[in-house]
Amino acid sequence: MNMQRIETMTGNYNLENYEEMYKNFNWEEVKKEFSWYDSGKVNIAYETIDRHADNPDKADQTALIYTAPDREEKLTFSELKQKSNQFANVLKKHEIEKGDRVFLFMPRSPEFYMSFLGILKVGAIAGPLFEAFMEQAVRDRLEDSEAKMLITTPELLNRVPVNELPNLEKIVLVGDTNSSDHIDFYKEMEQASKSFDIEWVDLEDGMLLHYTSGSTGKPKGVYHVHNAMLQHYQTAKWVLDLQKDDVYWCTADPGWVTGTSYGIFGPWLNGVTNVIVGGRFSPENWYKTLQDYKVSVWYSAPTAFRKLMSAGEDAVKPFDISNLRHVLSVGEPLNPEVIAWGMDAFKLRIHDTWWMTETGAQLICNYPALDMKPGSMGKPFPGITASIIDNEGNELPPNQMGNLAIKAPWPSMMRAIWKRPEKYESYFLNGWYVSGDSAYKDEEGYFWFQGRLDDVINTSGERVGPFEVESKLIEHEAVAEAGVIGKPDPERGEIIKAFITLNDGYNKSDELLEDIRQFVKKGLSAHAAPREIEVADKIPKTRSGKIMRRLLKSWELGLPTGDTSTLEE
């Protein structure tokens, strides 16, 4: 197979001629697809669910298929409308109002989606959290957002420091509970009316806060508004290529932006049946899901594809996955060898897409009707101007590496970093949004990812800030100082490696290092716990006291150390 270029495969795609459309496209045209174009009344939850529920041709179509080892459930658009209305009524009863932050901390389940949509229907701002988060991670996010309500399960409640969060007035528990202090989800849902008057909001009103990591400071709240629907809708149509009879599966958790933009909005704005899988990953489960639900469009991540790849071709053979017609990837570089494996295993191309929590939706993509160059992220979505710029904000010619930047704004762009205007401003230069990724563009306009320019770690597609891990490490009684880096790993992309120095009286031992690892795992989350910990004599720092992670990385990889003039004595 020619791995330099894989030509487009035959099919009837929503976007037939990318180049043509790129020249002519205008976001204004997309607005006409929505009811608010005439009515002036906007709510993304209405466009996502109710619009289809109110359409006799679509009302009884399955919107959500939930499958987990112990549970299977299907909801039509009409049922999902009613359930989210009921939850919106529960929220109203408990005085949740427009603009309030309501967080969700629970596993994927039908209740998650009812709640999430209910939050949007009252005009409040939803904050989804990974179920894997431990106390510190939960606290940081609820504290910063000043969340008024949390929806969680009785099992997860013990990771919520309820008494230390003065703004957190109410807790909804989903599951068996005898608690009289908290709101019982099932009981209140039963009593709630199935009709609800949606809170109509402005396109620029907030709807979603996703916390994500940078290289410094605590995780930041990336703030998204209802207007993002324009891009969720259009990218799901042209990049995911969603069509009327598709069954779509996005493997991402809604704690990650992919799990909201393309696990909720993209598919449902396009009225497509959406498969949601709970429980743990195993190659057999995944192939069985593709087979049993006749999944036709599948959006996943390199780390998952690499796991399937290492399970071997025999793992896929027992399953009939012939309904699959379009496969996509996001979150980390998609290795050409994974694409080659996909051509073998599925007889399909895996389409890489590039975007970020801050960008709200896909920006640089491979399209079904466009030739693919394996290793390239593809070309900018119509209506998006992408470029490579230098540190002064000047555009660079083809094949020169620099900052991957996007002309601001675009419909789904974040509108703020919660309570940190200066942080928000720091993303922009000369009218460009600067991504923090380095890349180059070739003569044909394909973009090629090169790496992160900051110290953010990407492990199994999860974005982890070294500062958060370092802060946790030094809370351990044995740890004096810590520096954390991403170390290249064939399956996970990167793993987290920590360098630490020990306090007096502590000696290095396997038990101690394991204890430290567990400490981070229990405090933050499993994916933030360092896989490797190395005891060092000293952590290199600049004269101003900043940890020189770049130097740690060079040591680790045996590379030249470069400029060390700012290294402290």
Residues that bind ligand 6R9 (CB under 6 A): 212, 257-258, 330-333, 352-357, 377, 435-437, 449, 452, 458, 463
**Closest to ligand 6R9 by CB, 78 or 460:** 460
Nearest CA among 112, 131, 119 for reference residue 44 = 119
Q: Are 236 and 262 in contact (CB under 8 A)?
A: yes
Query: Given the complex with ligand 6R9, which of 274 and 376 has the nearer CB atom?
Result: 376
CB of 301 to ligand 6R9, least distance (A): 8
CA distances (Å), 139 to each of 144, 160, 206, 385, in order?
A: 8, 7, 22, 38
Classified as helix, coil or strand, 237 is helix
Distance CA 448, CA 375 (A): 7
| Least distance in angstroms from the C-beta of 298 to ligand 6R9 | 16
254 vs 333, which CB is nearer to ligand 6R9? Answer: 333
**Closest CB 254 distance from ligand 6R9, rounded Å:** 13
Q: Which is nearer to ligand 6R9, 77 or 211 (CB)?
A: 211
CB of 261 to ligand 6R9, least distance (A): 8
CB of 252 to ligand 6R9, least distance (A): 8
Query: Tokens in use for 489?
Result: 């790993």
Q: How far apart are CA 245 and CA 241, in angstroms?
A: 11
In one-letter notation, the amino acid at residue 12 is: N
SS3 461: coil
**Alpha-carbon separation of residue 253 from 64, 249, 262 (angstroms):** 15, 12, 10
Q: Please identify the residue of the shown chain whose CB is closest to the bound ligand 6R9.
A: 357
CA distances from 143 to 21, 165, 183, 436, 508 (A): 45, 6, 21, 27, 35
Q: Is the Cβ–Cβ distance between 254 and 260 less than 8 Å?
A: yes
Nearer CB in complex with ligand 6R9: 86/359: 359
Least CB distance from residue 222 to ligand 6R9, whole Å? 8
Q: Which amino acid is at 425?
A: E
Nearby residues of 542 by Cβ (< 8 Å), 6 or more positions away: 548, 566, 567, 568
Residues in the chain: 569
Q: For residues 97 and 89, what is the distance between their CA atoms, to the nearest angstrom?
A: 11
- Least distance in Å: CB of 185 to ligand 6R9? 29
Task: Give counts: helices (H), strands (E), the chain.
Answer: 19, 27
Give 84 or 258: the residue with its C-beta nearer to ligand 6R9: 258
Nearer Cβ to ligand 6R9 (229/535): 229
- Read off the DSSP letter of residue 179: -
* Minimum CB distance to ligand 6R9, residue 18 (Å): 17
Question: Which of 293/449 has CB closer to ligand 6R9?
Answer: 449
- What is the rounded distance in angstroms from the CA atom of residue 31 to the CA atom of residue 305? 35
Q: Spell out the residues 6+ positions from residue 312 whose beta carbon is closer than 8 angstroms to its own.
A: none
Q: Which is nearer to ligand 6R9, 287 or 449 (CB)?
A: 449
> Residue 330 corresponds to which tokens in the numbers above?
């996001």
Q: Which two tokens stand for residue 270?
A: 């396009």
CB of 4 to ligand 6R9, least distance (A): 19
Give the whole-angstrom CA distance, residue 45 versus residue 507. 56
Torsion, Cα of 254, 255, 258, 260 (10° steps): 40
- Please report the DSSP string for 512-541 in residue order: HHHHHHHHHHHHT-GGGS-SEEEE-S---B
- Supply the minimum distance, in Å, between the C-beta of residue 400 and ligand 6R9: 19
Q: With respect to ligand 6R9, which residue has the nearer C-beta, 183 or 239?
A: 239
Tell me how far, at minimum, the Cβ of 207 lies from ligand 6R9, in Å.
Answer: 18
Are 328 and 304 a contacting pair, CB within 8 Å?
Answer: no
Q: Choose between 283 and 360: whose C-beta lies nearer to ligand 6R9.
A: 360
- Least distance (Å) between residue 377 CB and ligand 6R9: 5
Q: Which is nearer to ligand 6R9, 118 or 259 (CB)?
A: 259
